[in-house]
Amino acid sequence: MTAALFSWPWVFDHLDDIWAQTLEHLWLTTIAVTVGLLISLGLSAYVLHTRKAYGPITWTTGVLYTIPSLALFAFLVPITGLSVLTAEIGLVSYTLLILIRNIVAGIDGVPSSVLEAAVGMGYTRRELFIGVQLPLAMPIIITGVRIAAVTTIGLVTVTALIGQGGLGFFILRGLSLLFSPIGTTQIVVGTVLSVVLALAVDLALVGTQRALTPWARSKEAV
C-alpha cells in the first residue's frame, strides 16, 4: 500500500460516516440472521413433526442458496424496490439452508434415551422441543448461526448495489473512483472493516455458545 493509494486524511475526515455504515452493516446482518433463525426454527419444528417436509424444504432453501446474489437482488428490485426489505429478503434467503440443516442435525443428535426418558416422564411435544431438543442442539445451532452471520456480513456489501450495503457503500463508491487515492482508500476501508466485523461477530458468538452451554464445558473438564 503506497501512500499515494491510501489517504489517511480521508479516513479521519469520514470517521462518523464509517462508524454509521459499520453500525448499518451490523444492523442489516442482525436482522437477516434473526429473521432467518426464527423462520428456520419454525420450519425445523415443522420438519420434526412432519419428516416428509425435510426433503422439499432443504431442496427449496438449497435452490435459494445457489442463486447468485446479484441476480436475486436484480429480480427483487422490480417487486420490492430499492429498499431494506429487498436487501433483507435476499439476505434472509441465504441463511435458511445453513440454519435449518444445523437445527435439524442438532436436534437429530439428541440421544434417543434422553428423548425416551423425557417423553416417559410426561413432557409434551412442545416442552420437549423447548426444554430438551433446542438446548441440547444449541452448540450445533450456534455453529450454524456463526456460519450464517459471517456469510451474511459478506453479502451485505453486495446490497450496496440496491442502495443499502453498510460498509459495501464504501466499496461501491470506491470502485466508481478507481485509480484515485480516495477510491482505493474507500475500497480498503470497506473491505477491511467488513472482515473485522465478521471476525468480531464470530468471536462474540463463540462466547455466547460457551455461556449457553455450561454443561458442555464441564464435560471438557472431566
Binding site for another protein (CB under 8 A): 111, 113-124, 127, 132, 135-136, 138, 213-215, 218-219, 222
Nearer to another protein, 68 or 111 (CB): 111
Nearer to another protein, 78 or 122 (CB): 122
Shortest spacing between CB 74 and another protein, in angstroms: 45
Within 50-180, residue ranges assigned H as helices are 54-66, 69-80, 84-108, 112-120, 125-128, 134-156, 168-176
Shortest spacing between CB 213 and another protein, in angstroms: 7
CA 124/CA 143 separation, integer angstroms? 27
CA-CA-CA-CA torsion for 179, 183, 185, 190, nearest 10 degrees?
Answer: -130
Question: If phi over 0 gives left and psi between -120 and 50 gives alpha, with beta otherwise, what is residue 111?
Answer: beta
Distance of CA 16 to the CA centre of its chain: 25
CA 69/CA 93 separation, integer angstroms? 10
Shortest spacing between CB 40 and another protein, in angstroms: 21
CA 177/CA 49 separation, integer angstroms? 54
Residue type, 198: A
Nearer to another protein, 66 or 113 (CB): 113
Nearer to another protein, 68 or 122 (CB): 122
The residue length of the chain stands at 222
Nearer to another protein, 139 or 154 (CB): 139
Shortest spacing between CB 130 and another protein, in angstroms: 12
Shortest spacing between CB 51 and another protein, in angstroms: 16
Shortest spacing between CB 215 and another protein, in angstroms: 5
CA 105/CA 138 separation, integer angstroms? 11
Nearer to another protein, 45 or 132 (CB): 132
Q: Which three cell numbers stand for residue 20?
A: 454509521
Give the closest residue to 25 by CA, choosing from 155, 165, 162.
165
